[in-house]
Homo-oligomer: A and B are copies of this chain.
């Protein structure tokens, strides 16, 4: 992937901006995907499951199908955004972000 700057210049970029840009991109993708689940896809998917069933499905069974669908989607979104990011790099990233929070006096996980 092509980054915005050379390594030397990238190191001088501010975390305030890039943490915001990453947050925005990630939640926009998630919200778009969840909006699809909330509107079009699951109705069709549940209808197909119900129509295909040998015995009628209860409300609880249908709810479980939807929960499973949402969980699968979350796993897919996670895998999508973590492509080419190693677990080691991700751990470093979260630790660095939490260190910035610590160093700037924020206590995000204490309230």
Assembled-state Cα–Cα distance A98/B18 (Å): 8
- Whether, in the assembled complex, A103 has its beta carbon less than 8 Å from a beta carbon of chain B, the answer is yes
Q: A2 — nearest CB in chain B belongs to which residue?
A: B102
Contact of A93 among B3, B21, B92 (CB under 8 A): B92
- Whether, in the assembled complex, A99 has its beta carbon less than 8 Å from a beta carbon of chain B, the answer is yes
Identify which of residues 2-56 in chain A touch chain B, using a CB-to-CB cut-off of 8 Å. 3-4, 7, 10-11, 13-16, 18-30
Number of copies: 2
Q: Could you tell me if A108 and B30 are in contact, using CB atoms closer than 8 angstroms?
A: no
Q: A95 — nearest CB in chain B belongs to which residue?
A: B3
Identify which of residues 48-88 in chain A touch chain B, using a CB-to-CB cut-off of 8 Å. 80-85, 87
Instruction: Kindly supply a per-residue 1/0 record for chain A positions 91-109, scoring 1 wherever the CB is within 8 Å of any chain B CB and 0 otherwise.
Output: 1111111111111111011
